[in-house]
A and B are shown apart, each in its own frame.
Chain A
Amino acid sequence: MPPLLEVSDLHTHFTTFGGRRVVKAVDGISFSLDEGETLGLIGESGCGKTTTCLSIVGLLPNSARVAGGRITFQGEELTQKTSREMRRIRGRLIGMILQDPMASLNPLFSIYRQVAEPAYYHQSMRGRTLRARVQELLRSVRIPSPEQRMRDYPHQMSGGMRQRIVGAIALAGGPKLIIADEPTTNLDVTIQAQYLDLLKDLQRDTGVAIIFVTHNLGIVARMCDRMAVMYAGRIVEHGSVRDLFNAAKHPYTRALLGSIAKLGSKEPLYAIPGQPPNLAHLPTGCAFHPRCPDAMPQCTIDAPLETSLGESWTARCWRAAAQPAKEAYDRASA
């Protein structure tokens, strides 16, 4: 069976200063997602994870454009679609949950109107069926007494409840894929745990695939099947969550895992030296080399190629490439 979503060699560039400077926010990334699967997209601010998601749903700002690569969703090529065609896909086949629910809900419209919108436009539901559908959606995200609450406005709800409303809107069209961009960053810890449990249940009931964009490795450990670690616009390591947590091969993945405090442990944290790079002035070679504890002379010159480390496990690192894939590199450069 072909994957639900396949992103191959995607390049998204921002143009600034009237076209004189190009910032490669996404610089050749590839990944795929099967139905019902959960992928964690991890990285620090400015590494291109949000730009990747916006490229998929065709909501890039005017200064950005997809400069190359393909995005195939259910066998259809998304990068060639017009904005009118994309509108038939967003909200129906692909739902989105963004970080700040107060910014993604319209304060002037009732909850009913906002949750009803996808079903109204995409499934042409009206009247009593539409009302029943909205109540069903609100019940599925565990809003108590939906008949009353759907008349409320966003300001009358708490942060956790608002984010669940956003979840209901994302589910309204019966999507195959939900892109959740840091959905719990603004929530308190117990509310975050409730929300993650809810997403797990919804996924089990509806079989929807989820892309989880986050900088929190704990969320990935709890929620995801596979993870892709991004650094400076590239995926530096990609594999199953268990493999990467047990034996990450890229120094950046290892460093991220080592810098997280473990509950009840007093082991010193590994501090990654330096700062995340500025995408407008990337270091030569591997973008991570100025902060890498294992950097070699080669790392400062050539950008590492993607090396396969096993079934669906890849890394972009000369160290990881050193042994098994030397021949692959020779073949590629020949």
Chain B
Amino acid sequence: MTAPVLEVQGLKKYFPVSTGGLLHRRAAWVKAVETVDFDIMPGETLGLIGESGCGKTTTAKLILLQEKPTEGSIRFEGEEILALHGAALMRYRRAVQVVFQDPYSSLSPRMRVRDIIAEPLEIHTDMSRVEIRERVAEVLELVGMQPDVADLFPHEFSGGQRQRIAIARALVTDTRLIVLDEPVSALDVSIRAQIMNTLEHLQATLGVSYLFIGHDLAGVAHISHRIAVMYLGQLVELAEATELCAHPLHPYTQALLIAALPAHPDDKYERLTISGEVPSALAPPSGCRFHTRCPHAMPRCTEEVPVRKDVAPNHSVACHLYG
């Protein structure tokens, strides 16, 4: 069995909230991410899905070392990344890259496309200018663009083309894992499929792994091999994408599937069984965080935090309904 590219164990991130006033005392903690575990295999896409404020972007930031976790470990190719320094840390930053949601704010308007894509190479490698030039042309072709666009500025491109440039920049350093934070949400419908297909094609040719963050279940399920569902900082269910869509176990996942819009007007129409809105992460409910909205809530759910357990091969769920 091959080893995973990325292993995340017991990851926690608490943000302090100060009360204001003179002393700025820390009054409370926002528990943005609470004991999240998952792994990503080489060449695999793990989908991370949940509503706003559920901690998916915080998880991404922790993996990218933009935030320091409160607790837990992140291992990349067997190495604990939180302990990395110097050259080893640079190697990690080179291997793990990111593509953001909005390509209008993630590309510097003052830099030419060539310089945007070449920047990681200038920082991480000692390639000559000629080599860099060749490498930029190579990745531009990989993402389906003409190499001669390298001398243009980002404002000369549409949203979909800018997202291709962002993907090219993420790929340029022989990347092994790309964190894709809602990469198609800001694009027009007719362009989304182009980007999704490009991402799938790149994975098939280069064997790169993706962590694909999104909130649209159908889209995430389409591109992902496995899906992790998050709710209020906790990972509630993890399963193969097709299995999760066919047999969702956690009541929240079931609600997400019902809330997903139909692909055809004749599709069965179900009413959403959950009510209310996501509670504040400042004062999350006790026990299972979903119990305030759950149609199957039992007395036990208000007291005991459910632990995520395997209920079928490659399918784990954190819910008291399943043992």
Q: Report if A and B associate in a common complex.
A: yes
**Complex CA–CA separation, A245 to B265 (angstroms):** 7
**Residue of A192, A221, A241 ringed by the most chain B CB atoms within 10 A:** A221
In the complex, residue of chain A having the shortest beta-carbon distance to the beta carbon of B219: A261
Contact residue among A215, A217, A222, A271 (Cβ-Cβ distance under 8 Å from B193): A271
A264 pairs with B265, CB closer than 8 A: no
**Complex CA–CA separation, A3 to B277 (angstroms):** 39
Which residues on the A side are within 8 Å of B272 (C-beta)?
A: 190, 193-194, 197
- Tell me if A218 is interfacial: C-beta within 8 Å of chain B: yes
Tell me the chain B residues, 37-79 only, with Cβ under 8 Å from chain A.
51-52
Which residues on the B side are within 8 Å of A260 (C-beta)?
A: 189, 193, 218, 263
- Number of A-B residue pairs at CB separation under 8 A: 118
**Complex CA–CA separation, A193 to B266 (angstroms):** 17
Q: Interface residue count for B (Cβ, 8 Å)?
A: 46
Q: What are the interface flags for A236-277 relative to B under an 8 Å C-beta threshold, 1 for contact and 0 otherwise?
A: 000001100100000000011011111111101111110110
B196 pairs with A44, CB closer than 8 A: no
**Nearest CB of chain B from residue A104's CB, rounded to whole Å:** 20
- Tell me if B294 is interfacial: C-beta within 8 Å of chain A: no
**Nearest CB of chain B from residue A183's CB, rounded to whole Å:** 14
**Complex CA–CA separation, A265 to B257 (angstroms):** 14
A45 pairs with B217, CB closer than 8 A: no
Q: A255-B190, A259-B190 are in contact. Are A189 and B217 (CB under 8 A)?
A: yes
- Tell me if A188 is interfacial: C-beta within 8 Å of chain B: yes
Which residues on the A side are within 8 Å of B265 (C-beta)?
A: 221-222, 241-242, 245
**Residue of B188, B246, B258, B267 ringed by the most chain A CB atoms within 10 A:** B188
- Tell me if B132 is interfacial: C-beta within 8 Å of chain A: no
**Complex CA–CA separation, A158 to B278 (angstroms):** 10
Contact residue among B194, B216, B267 (Cβ-Cβ distance under 8 Å from A271): B194
- Tell me if A69 is interfacial: C-beta within 8 Å of chain B: no
A193 pairs with B259, CB closer than 8 A: yes
Tell me the chain B residues, 260-279 only, with Cβ under 8 Å from chain A.
260-267, 269, 271-272, 274-275, 277-278
**Nearest CB of chain A from residue B276's CB, rounded to whole Å:** 9
Q: A189-B259, A222-B262, A265-B222 are in contact. Are A270 and B277 (CB under 8 A)?
A: no
Contact residue among B51, B242, B263 (Cβ-Cβ distance under 8 Å from A188): B51
**Nearest CB of chain B from residue A39's CB, rounded to whole Å:** 14
Contact residue among A188, A245, A264 (Cβ-Cβ distance under 8 Å from B264): A245
Which positions in B face A, CB cutoff 8 Å? 51-52, 158, 160-161, 188-194, 196-197, 200, 215-219, 221-222, 241-242, 245-246, 255-267, 269, 271-272, 274-275, 277-278
Known contacts A190-B256, A222-B265, A242-B265; 8 further A-B pairs (Cβ under 8 A): A189-B256, A189-B259, A222-B269, A259-B192, A260-B193, A275-B161, A276-B188, A276-B190
Q: Which 9 A-B pairs have the closest CB atoms?
A: A218-B261, A264-B245, A193-B259, A261-B222, A259-B193, A269-B193, A188-B51, A272-B190, A271-B194
List, sorted by A's number, 15 A–B pairs whose CB atoms are closer than 8 Å.
Answer: A158-B277, A160-B277, A188-B52, A189-B216, A192-B259, A217-B189, A221-B261, A222-B261, A222-B269, A260-B263, A263-B221, A264-B241, A270-B193, A273-B194, A275-B161
